[in-house]
Structure 1
Amino acid sequence: MSEEVRAMPRVNGLAAALRMLAPRWPMLLLATAAIVVFTAASLARPLAIQHALDEGVAKGDRAELVQACLAFGALLLLVYVFQGLSTWIVNRVGQDFLYDLRMRLFEHYQRMSLAFFGRENAGRLVARMTSDVTTVNDVLNNGFLVVVQSLLTLAGATVILLTLSVRLSLAVALILPPLIVATAIFRVYSNRAYNRVRERIADVMVHMQETFSGLRVVQAFAREQKNRERFGEINERNFEANVSTVKLSSLYFPFVEWLRGAAIGLILYFGGRQVAGDAVTVGTVAAFVFYLEFIFQPIQNLSQVFDMVQSANAALGKIFGVLAVEPDVPEPERPARVQPPLEGRIALEGVTFGYDPDRPVLREIDLVIEPGQHVMLVGPTGAGKSTLAKLITRMYDPTAGTVRIGGYDLRTLRLADLRRTVTMVPQEGFLFTGTIRENILFGKPGASDAEVRAACERLGIDGFIRSLPNGYETLVSFRGSRLSAGEKQLVSIARAFLADPPVLVLDEATSSLDPHTEEQVEQALRTLLEGRTSVVIAHRLSTAEHADRVLVVDGGRIVEDGRHDELVRRGGYFAALYRQWVAGRAAKTA
């Protein structure tokens, strides 16, 4: 069993979907009524043919023949109108349901914490929104209509056949036992096969997503052939899973078709003998042949729909399994009533945290950062600096202890209130597909163009943006690939500046920039940090000279706390780090 399946709760997807459909029952009831009308009209057509043959053709009565033809035409019109009405209603309800399901999935993903996305594969999460929803769409658009119509047709045809001739009905019944046994076997094996298909489709999407995201690495290390071989293995498993469903269908459906032919032969044989003995009419035998279609076609339809339902049930189980996962960082049940933004005082009280609770990354951190203080976090890789920043922004909750902003435990604040108080500028400036202006407006969606320009002028980046081909309306593609790393970071800084939060957390915001761009970004950052409480993860220790405090993190603890000059004079851990950094920088410039 895959890791994803173990992580997700087991959910009865069909039952969950029915609960979502419950508010739409009036429309489904109307659709059912329309299906009843056009099914009844369909079932009546062979009776009109019987009447035409027995009363019109056999007796040479033209009036009866015309009357039967008119009745047949009226029945065709009823089928056309009410089948069209039922199809429209069912598809409209299905699309409404799918709209709500996609929205629930998307909103749920946005509520989930970083821990969830660290556990789950992005490709599988996308598969829930795409291929699984498409599978459900197929059932909703066709399944309900086919199931209701087929069941009504089967029931109606059975009653009519028994009414026309019990003996001929018994002859037709001879084919039912093998049909029922074959259908039962088909259901068991098809259920297993379609579950495998859903898993294999997800594997294909996962590999494609990872390959596209890491294409630079793939090409840099000439891994195209290896990736092709790996995809070939995954695609082969997907091929085999789908072929297994084809094998089942190729055995089952031709067998049903053979039984249909055998049943027609039985009707012609026994019906012909009864016509010769005047027990039934030719019209009755003809009606039986037509009604045979009303027996076999619904059974085939139900078998095909069962395939679809099995596949959709597997997909729904995965979708509602995702929806059943509770956020690791939940909204408080009774949030504190605050008026954001809050005062920028940060306090950590006895904070311990581990991504694996048995292996703490931070241990018993006690820390107070006063409003307006500019604090640097320094230390070796893996010391816990980024984890500390994630706790302050409540990307995670501490395993033990409390994190407070403005005196409030973060777990008591609505996430929207917290986000208006604390903003993070990550190591990479992430931009979304859209214009430069739209990306800056992420910080404050309701801001005017004048506010956006004023923010950029204050940061000293208005000239850079105006130099782009279309200025603020310049389009950037996914992740801002048309801009350099420094340009993307400048836009993300403008986004944070426009949001105007009292607390800022910067996670090595200049670590991947060239010296020229770094200077421009650092100038914008100085403007951004003015008058705000800031926690900055630094990899260039020279920037610590401008901090109010330097916190040295090592082994999950704060081992030193003070101003840059004080820590250098103490000759402790920070002084050793600083000397090592200065020596390394001197060696690079030598």
Structure 2
Amino acid sequence: MSRNRAARNHPAQGLGAATGGPRRPDRSADSRGTVRRVWQAISRQRGLLVGTAVFGVASVVLTASGPWLLGRATNLVVEGTLGRQPDAARSPAGVTDGAAAAGSGIDFDAVGRVLLYATAVYVAAGLCAVVQAWTANLAVQRVTRQLREDVAIKISRVPVSYFDRQRRGEILSRVTNDIDNLGQSLQQVFGQFVIPLFSIAGMLAAMFWISWLLALIALVTAPLSLVAVTALGKRAQPFFLEQWKQTGRLNSHIEEMYTGHALVKVFGRDQQAMDVFMESNDELTGATYRAQAVSSAIQPAMMFMSNLNYVLIAVVGGVRVAAGALTIGDIQAFIQYSRQYSQPLAFLASMASTVQSGAASAERVFEILDAPEESPDPIEANQPASTVTGRVAFENVSFRYTPDKPLIENLSLTAEPGHTIAIVGPTGAGKTTLVNLLMRFYDVGEGHITLDGVDIATMARARLRSRVGMVLQDTWLFSGTIAENIAYGARGATRDEIVAAATAAHADRFIRTLPDGYDTVIDDEDSGLSAGEKQLLTIARAFLARPAILILDEATSSVDTRTEVLIQEAMARLREGRTAFVIAHRLSTIRDADTIVVMEDGAIVEQGTHDRLVDADGAYTRLYAAQFADAAARIGSD
């Protein structure tokens, strides 16, 4: 098994990965740095942000004018009423006549004009708020789109070793769930945050204009509110980070159970899979509950401060009106301003959980963006001749996955053009690692690997890999037609060339039995094809690419014996003039190889032809004898 496959299938990452006791929430590594990076990303949309600010300010200014106009209307009514009451008291008509006389003192035309102005102001404020929300949402969507592009580009640049250390479901959760959550958080913040923020400033200015004393009273609760929000926010942030980490773990487990559903059923591990799911689900529920419980305490605290503020303003304001320092319209307008001042504070506090959740997701996304990348290609990359002969040489190559565990030490091997090099040995001997080094999925620690005399470390990776065709034991098909899957490695391939490649791989027969033939739509998970048929398609893909070097990693392990013989014959034709590296456990499939390399513990212990190695009575002979003795034992038992 290859080293990377072994890493992905390690027991610690399988069914038991989510087991264990309750986890303490991890502290945020750099919350301020995360917020700063998010702001840097959204600040690139300067034009939209300016529009958001302009229309937000306009909406706030217009909204702030509303209570003042309503206060003027109230004063007109009060002044008109109080100004006619003495005459009404002397009127012989009594209360009815007095009420009529009082009503005659109100200038309803003036009141109507003020109310009309107030209506127009509120309509204009609403329109400005709509435009502000539209510009903010557009800016956020552009930032989210760019973030997805950055992550996609980053994933193409990180080395294979990064994916060996990460569970696939965890990466998918960060790329999908976390980016989506961050986008929703930004949309709420910038779509609904700007106007409340400006409203606080606008309402404060209006309150100071009416009464500086009442404004100072209203400001008493602001520091207390800030302390409450800050304290509760710091306590909730680690729980939000834990929530999204648990989401990634749960998604990873579900993805594993879905892809391995058949094996779970076969081995009767349904209950264990469900137990792991329930435990992961409970941990996610607990983390989410703790995060929401802490953050939800912010809004009640803000409401308490708002009510306290209202009581103080009502008492002091009443005293000021009684003393003649303020009018009833001023108090009415001030109370409206204080409510409009308190509501944005409470709203912003209620958004604390949204901000913290988005910051936690942003931190997880930035961890991907900060992952170390492959070493860059040389600026002036060397290239072999336009016609690659395929001579590959390993010169004193050493490599280790971890610094303290050597795997390949001082290995030398030469593959001449047109030769087939078969690599055999026990699991973990370093067979797949050898071809991974050739593909530069990993870089050698010491020594050199050359292609036609050119050190591959000085070549551009894309140019190197374009000369190599690879067929792995694990098949991979994407969602598309069979023809598109076969032509994946050969852009612009014609239908005749696709059919020829499928015929050479002995896939044409079963393809034509499908409902739409070569136009049948398939994917890797639910294609209706057997494992052997999928492998034939990947082999046809290699046929069509016609690379200078072929790498076959147990490429025929999923096909029957008859098909394997046919494929070996086709491969023999394909290998003419090309170098091929064949990793095989079934030694019967590589008897005709030009050179058979036997590896043990990362070193070449034998190499030669099949007949010479059998006569040498060494490691290869022991492998060969053990394999066929086992086969004979199985036949005898039958």
User: Is contact 1:42-1:76 (8 Å) kept?
Assistant: yes
Residue of structure 2 in register with 1:275 after alignment:
321
Q: 1:17 aligns with which of 33, 38, 45?
A: 38
Question: Relative to 1, partners in 2 of residues 1:203 and 1:450: Cα closer, same or farther, differing over 3 Å?
Answer: same
The answer to whether 1:356 aligns with 2:416 is no
In structure 2, the residue matched to 1:552 is 598
Distance 1:451 1:11, change over 3 A: farther
Aligned to 2:556: 510
1-side partners of 2:368 and 2:584: how far apart?
37
Residue 33 of structure 1 deviates from its aligned partner by 1.1
Aligned partners of 1:567, 1:350: CA distance in 2, in Å? 23
2:308 aligned with 1:287: no
Residue identity in the other structure for 2:74: L
Distance in 1, matches of 2:463 and 2:228, equals: 60
CA distance in 1, matches of 2:32, 2:574: 47
User: Paired residue for 2:482?
Assistant: 436
Equivalent residues in 2 for 1:397-416, closer than 5 Å: 397-416=443-462
Map residues 377-396 of structure 1 onto 2, 5 A cutoff: 377-396=423-442
SS of structure 2 residue aligned to 1:478 = coil
Matching of residue 450 in structure 1 with residue 496 in structure 2 = yes
Q: Report the counterpart of residue 241 of structure 2 in structure 1.
A: 195
- CA shift, 1:160, in A, is 0.9
2:257 to 198, 211, 214: 211
Specify which of 42, 47, 50 is matched with residue 26 of structure 1.
47
Q: 1:571 aligns with which of 617, 629, 634?
A: 617
- The structure 2 residue matched to 1:303, chosen from 349, 356, 359, is 349
The answer for the alignment partner of 1:228 in structure 2 is 274
Moved more, 297-306 or 99-108: 297-306
Q: Do the aligned partners of 1:490 and 1:524 also contact (CA within 8 Å) in 2?
A: no
1:498 to 2:519 alignment: no
Q: Retained in 2: the 8 A contact 1:433–1:478?
A: yes
Instruction: Mark the CA change 1:339 to 1:471 in structure 2 (over 3 Å): closer, same or farther.
Output: farther
The answer (yes or no) to whether the contact 1:341–1:417 under 8 Å persists in 2 is: no
- Bigger shift: 449-458 or 334-343? 334-343
Structure 1 CA distance for aligned equivalents of residues 433 and 396 of structure 2:
15
- Whole-Å separation in 1 of the counterparts to 2:174 and 2:628: 50
Equivalent pair of 1:372/1:531 in contact (CA under 8 Å): yes
Following TM superposition, by how much is the alpha carbon of 1:398 offset from its aligned partner in structure 2, in angstroms? Answer: 1.3
Q: Post-superposition shift, 1:309?
A: 2.3
Q: CA deviation at 1:134?
A: 1.8
Structure 1 residue 334: Cα displacement: 4.0
- Does the 8 Å contact 1:35/1:145 carry over to 2? no
Deviations 1:392-445 (A, max 9, x none): 122211121111222222222222111211121001322122221121121123
TM-score normalised by the chain length of structure 2: 0.87
3-state SS in 1 of match to 2:596: strand
What secondary structure sits across from 1:551 in the alignment?
A: strand
Change (3 A) 1:586 1:303: same
Question: Which region of structure 1 is more displaced relative to structure 2, 361-370 or 15-24?
Answer: 15-24
- Report the alpha carbon displacement of residue 365 of structure 1 after superposing the two structures with TM: 0.8
Deviation at 1:327, TM superposition (A): 2.6
Structure 2 letter corresponding to 1:184? T
Amino acid at match of 1:219: K
Aligned 8 A contact 1:27 1:89 in 2? yes
Question: What CA distance in whole angstroms lies between the structure 2 residues aligned with 1:353 and 1:382?
Answer: 14
Aligned AA (1:215): H
User: Alignment partner for residue 41 of structure 1, among 62, 72, 75?
Assistant: 62
Describe the SS at the equivalent of 1:381.
Answer: coil
Matched, 1:475 2:496: no
Partner residue in 1 for 2:5 = none
Q: Partner of 2:75 in structure 1? A: 54
The answer to whether the Cα contact below 8 Å between 2:133 and 2:192 also exists between their aligned partners in 1 is no
Which deviates further from its counterpart, 250-259 or 66-75? 250-259
Amino acid at match of 1:253: Q
Matched with 1:127 is 173
3-state DSSP class of the match of 1:240? helix
> Which position in structure 2 is the counterpart of 1:104?
150
Moved more, 208-217 or 528-537: 208-217
Cα distance change, pair 89–139 in 1 and its aligned pair in 2 (3 A): same
Amino acid at match of 1:530: E
The 2-side partners of 1:363 and 1:407 are apart by 22
Structure 2 residue matching 1:175: 3-state secondary structure: helix
User: Are the counterparts in 1 of residues 595 and 607 from structure 2 also a CA contact under 8 Å?
Assistant: yes
* C-alpha distance 434-69 of structure 1, shift in aligned 2 (>3 A): same
Q: Deviations over 1:350-403 (max 9, x none)?
A: 101111232121111111111111111112222211111211122211121111
**Unpaired stretches in structure 2, ≥5 consecutive residues:** 1-21, 81-105
SS of the aligned residue for 1:401 comes to strand
- Relative distance call for 1:132 and 1:261 in structure 2 (3 A) is same
1:322 partner letter: I
Give the C-alpha shift of residue 328 in structure 1.
4.5
Which residue identity is paired with 1:35?
G
Q: Would you say 1:346 and 2:392 are equivalent positions?
A: yes
In structure 2, the residue matched to 1:144 is 190
* Segment of structure 1 superposing worse, 360-369 or 245-254: 245-254
The residue that corresponds to 1:420 in the other structure is 466
Residue by residue over 1:78-119, the C-alpha shift from the partner in whole angstroms, topping out at 9 and shown as x without a partner, is 223221212111111111111111122122223223211111
Deviation at 1:158, TM superposition (A): 0.9
* Structure 1 runs not aligned, ≥5 long: none
* Contact 2:420 2:581 (8 Å CA) reproduced: yes
Which of 111, 114, 121 is 1:75 aligned to? 121
CA distance in 2, matches of 1:541, 1:200: 45
The more displaced of 127-136 and 304-313 is 304-313
Deviation string for 1:243-302 (max 9, x for gaps)?
223322443312322332333333333323332332211211111221122211221222
In 2, the alpha carbon distance for the partners of 1:580 and 1:401 equals: 34
CA contact (8 A) 1:433 1:479 kept: no
Shift of 1:40: 1.2
Q: What's the CA shift string for 1:122-149, capped at 9, x where partnerless?
A: 2221121122112211222121243332
How many angstroms apart in 1 are the aligned matches of 2:385 and 2:347? 60
Write the distance in 1 (CA, Å) between the matches of 2:387 and 2:336: 75
Indicate the residue corresponding to 1:255 in structure 2. Answer: 301
Q: Percent identity?
A: 33
Q: Distance in 2 between matches of 1:489 and 1:160?
A: 74
Distance 1:30 1:396 in 2: 49
Most deviating of 269-278 and 375-384: 269-278
Cα–Cα, structure 1 residues 222 and 141, in superposed 2: closer, same or farther, change >3 Å? Answer: same
SS in 2 for 1:92: helix
Normalized against structure 1, the TM-score is what? 0.93
What is the deviation of 1:487? 0.6
Once residues 288 and 11 of structure 1 are traced to their aligned partners in structure 2, the CA distance between those partners, rounded to angstroms, is 37
Q: Secondary structure at the match of 1:512?
A: coil
Q: What is the rounded CA distance, in whole Å, between the counterparts of 1:338 and 1:69 in structure 2?
A: 83
Q: How far, CA to CA, are the matches of 2:512 and 2:471 in structure 1?
A: 23
